[in-house]
Structure 1
Amino acid sequence: MEKIIIVTGGSRGIGAATAYLAAQRGYAVAVNYIHNHEAATKIVNNIKHSGGKAIAAAADISLEADAIALFNQVDEQLGKVTALVNNAGILEQQMRVENMDAARLNRIFAVNVTGVFLCAREAIKRMSTKHGGTGGVIVNLSSAAARLGSPGEYVDYAASKGAVDTMTIGLAREVANEGIRVNGVRPGFIDTDIHASGGESNRLERIKDSIPMKRGGQAEEVAKAILWLLSSEASYTTGSFIDVAGGR
């Protein structure tokens, strides 16, 4: 059976590293993106040049119609998904809770929580033996922030990832007897451009001494944890988490 994976937010950072590694390990890859068509197309072309199969798929996964369209596109161009990596996520400028407005909170939770639910829902409809599927695997990208809270910076982001953790546990138990495994990966401080979104592009340099390993992580290190959870080596693992956070 062909292995078909959707990586949401796959055009940069951890998502891009996951897309590349999945292709190397035999997956046909749908690289989801929202704005950066050029970056997504570059990843797809690189995968194809290496002998793999990939498509770029534009969708704002926080919108129900877009999430449905994403999975329908994959159905038509690659086939039924067998693996989903819920990687898409956003954060905003560093800020204390007392200064956050509802619009910001709604944006964060729409992508980081609602989008994860919508994509998981569509994947289950295709994977579950209850619906005639042959099973599959979902990996949700959480964050060490879910454990640490991100005080003074991103309590809203941390809270959204706490919701992802809870959803991961509940969903794993809900579909465990339908051939679907659901797990999470909690990255710590990883060297990607998401820090610039929060207004501090050199954040890793500032905080690296607070990390037991004294360095930030690389996107490829997170991707390897994701691919392990997707693999048959993790066949008895569900409702679990891998922390990729340098000991923090």
Structure 2
Amino acid sequence: MSTSAPSVRPVLLVTGGGRGIGAAVARLAAARGHDVLLTYRSDAARAEATAEAARAAGATAHAIQADVADPEGRAQCFAALDARFGRLDALVNNAGITGPTGRLDETPDAVWEEVLRTNVLGLAACSREAIRRLSTRHGGRGGAIVNVSSRASTIGGGGEWVHYAASKGAVDTLTLGLAREVAAEGIRVNAVNPGLIDTELHAAAGLPDRVARMSAGVPMQRGGSAEEVAEAVLWLLSPAASYVNGALLPVGGGR
């Protein structure tokens, strides 16, 4: 009688995984066979609820407080990953902030610095740590990185979030360059570019009616859901996208 070795679920790290798109990604990944480590910045209860939903779907899941803009927070995140799972198979760089709304001539340097520190430097630093674990050059097995960018990188965010849009333009460029840099080392790097998505982001920025107000400008005449974005992310992580590298996938209803 032969016995087979127990299956090993791939391990996914989702930054900013406590709510919104990140939480939807964590839940869907768990349902599709991943174990999950998710980070959150401040809302422990929401993050733990997401982790519990992932566990209910059959995953081993942990939530850890870690601000990706803070080097110490990033170090704690990856130390927890190594200690609790001992491996990494995929990274979803979802953590991000918009900053307050306003025109460029009304926006101080401090806003730009905070947004870029989280959305660009934090994302790049997390990617660097992931590559050190995934790359065949470093003894890894390969894997996938998906960056959560935004349609704002193309539309520009004028009158609302030029600083946010600029940060996502940097994410797009980083995605393209990194995809070429590490492709031969077994790592695929892609991005999703969500459009008008119905999450808490808008209310948190003081614009609770933004999705309803702007839906008429979307060819599909509605905002999208976090779950619809998560489906795109999971496809890019999956073997079904095995020859997709350096893609910037719009998920914006045609906008």
Give the TM-score taking structure 1 as reference length: 0.98
1:138-217 correspondence runs (5 A): 138-217=145-224
Q: CA deviation at 1:44?
A: 1.3
Letter in 2 for 1:200: L
Report SS of the residue matched to 2:170. Answer: helix
What amino acid sits opposite 2:145 in the alignment?
I
Q: In structure 2, how many angstroms separate the alpha carbons of the residues matched to 1:180 and 1:51?
A: 26
Q: Whole-Å Cα distance in 2 between the matches of residues 210 and 48 of structure 1?
A: 38
Correspondences of 1:117-156 after superposition (within 5 Å): 117-156=124-163
User: What amino acid sits opposite 1:98 in the alignment?
Assistant: D
Tell me how far 1:52 sits from its aligned partner: 1.8
Residue pair 2:30, 2:55 contacting (<8 A) in 1 also: no
For 1:187, give the aligned amino acid.
Answer: P
Q: Post-superposition shift, 1:64?
A: 1.6
Number of equivalent positions: 248
From 60, 69, 92, the equivalent of 1:62 is 69
3-state SS of the aligned residue for 1:105? helix
CA apart distance, 1:72: 1.3
CA contact (8 A) 2:134 2:143 kept: yes
Equivalent in 50, 65, 68 of residue 57 of structure 2: 50
The alpha-carbon deviation at position 195 of structure 1 amounts to 0.5
Task: Quote the Cα distance in structure 1 between the aligned partners of 2:194 and 2:30.
Answer: 21
Q: How far has the Cα of 1:93 moved from its partner?
A: 2.1
Deviation of residue 68 (structure 1)? Answer: 1.9
- 1:106 correspondence with 2:139: no
Q: Measure the CA separation in 1 of the matches of 2:56 and 2:171.
A: 35
Query: Which 10-residue stretch deviates more, 197-206 or 161-170?
Result: 197-206
- Structure 1 contact 189–216 (Cα < 8 Å) conserved: yes
Give the deviation of 1:92 after TM superposition. 2.0
Unaligned 5+ residue runs, structure 2? 1-7
RMSD value, Cα: 0.9
Shift of 1:45: 1.6
Identical positions, percent: 49
Q: 1:8 aligns with which of 15, 33, 36?
A: 15
Gapped regions of structure 1 (runs ≥ 5): none
Which residue does the alignment assign to 1:97?
Answer: 104
Residues 132-180 of structure 1: CA deviation (Å, up to 9, x unaligned): 0000100000000000001100000000000000000000000010000
Question: Partners in 1 of 2:66 and 2:196 — Cα distance?
Answer: 27
1:245 aligns with 2:244: no
* Residues 29-64 of structure 1, C-alpha deviations (whole Å, 9 max, x = no match): 011101011111111122223322100111011112
State which drifts further: 159-168 or 41-50. 41-50
User: 1:43 is paired with a residue of what secondary structure?
Assistant: helix
Moved over 2 A (4+): none
